[in-house]
Amino acid sequence: MVAENTESSIVDVSLLADEITLDEALDALDPLRHLRNQDDPSDHILLVPTQPRSVKNQCISLTFPSPSPERSATAIQITLRLDASPGCGGIAWPAGEVLSNYITLRGEQFCHAKTVLELGSGTGLVGLVAGALGGHVWITDQAPLLGIMRDNVIINNLQSFVNVAELNWGEKVPSYIPRPDIILAADCVYYEPAFPLLVNTLSELSEERTEILFCYKKRRKADKRFFALLKKQFNWREVDDDPNRESYAREAISLLVLTKRTAIGCV
């Protein structure tokens, strides 16, 4: 039996591998089980309004702090139509709210006049906030989610700022989607077969200068596989300027800044 010894703990690696294998077998039977782990009291969603999984055609309203309090700018208010029937993205997830809140705190200069692309937008929440901050935004997801995303753009009157497009991870990015200055992704790590697809799309869309904010809720040990793949092409660090970090860390949510690794040229 191999054991990995760190200063503070001894981890039995063979047991960890067994747990990951079990996780993978259960995922194959029920790929979305981590998103509705209602037996686990530590997995309750505390940050967004209660949304029963049977939700269909409901509206919620979310308020984010003023992006420029010194100029007495008003708080950003987003109304979201929710509908779980097209898929898990049709409701609002806690990582999306954490990321929305953070970009608002970064202020208008963060997004203003920049091209912003959100991956796996679901309802579109994060991208709508980026649009309200003045970014030229593309919110993207798989085809079944596009209707609810379009509705939410219209409800929030953000048609001049937010475009909606189909973008399936792992497929070639459509040529009409511009190269982004900023990439946003919230709660996109939950289905292991999609891990390499998501990393490929992040890689195709980015360069070393691209700012990538990646908000992630840890749900299971197999997520390590995602980060093992990510490490081949990206570096990352936790954001250290979010005053809310301690509170969402208690919900196992991390907000990371990803940077594409420098390509090593062939000489």
* Residue stretches of the annotated binding site: 93, 120-122, 141, 169, 186
Q: How far apart are CA 24 and CA 221, in angstroms?
A: 10
The footprint of ligand SAM (CB under 6 A) covers 35, 87-89, 92-93, 95-96, 120-123, 125, 141-142, 145, 168-169, 186-188, 190, 194, 197
Output 183 or 194, the one with its CB closest to ligand SAM: 194
Q: How far apart are CA 39 and CA 60, in angstroms?
A: 25
70-81 burial, b if ≥16 CB within 10 A, otherwise e?
eeeeeebebebb
Minimum separation from the CB atom of position 70 to ligand SAM (A): 29
Minimum separation from the CB atom of position 86 to ligand SAM (A): 8
CB closest to ligand SAM, residue no: 89
Output 120 or 135, the one with its CB closest to ligand SAM: 120
Output 161 or 190, the one with its CB closest to ligand SAM: 190
Minimum separation from the CB atom of position 131 to ligand SAM (A): 15
Q: Which of 142, 132, 137, 44 is nearest to 93 (CA)?
A: 44
> CA distances (Å), 189 to each of 131, 196, 198, in order?
24, 11, 9
Annotated binding-site residues for S-adenosyl-L-methionine read 93, 120-122, 141, 169, 186
Minimum separation from the CB atom of position 168 to ligand SAM (A): 4
Output 18 or 233, the one with its CB closest to ligand SAM: 233
Q: How far apart are CA 238 and CA 149, in angstroms?
A: 29
- Say which residues have a Cβ less than 8 Å from residue 163's Cβ, sequence separation at least 6: 137, 138, 139
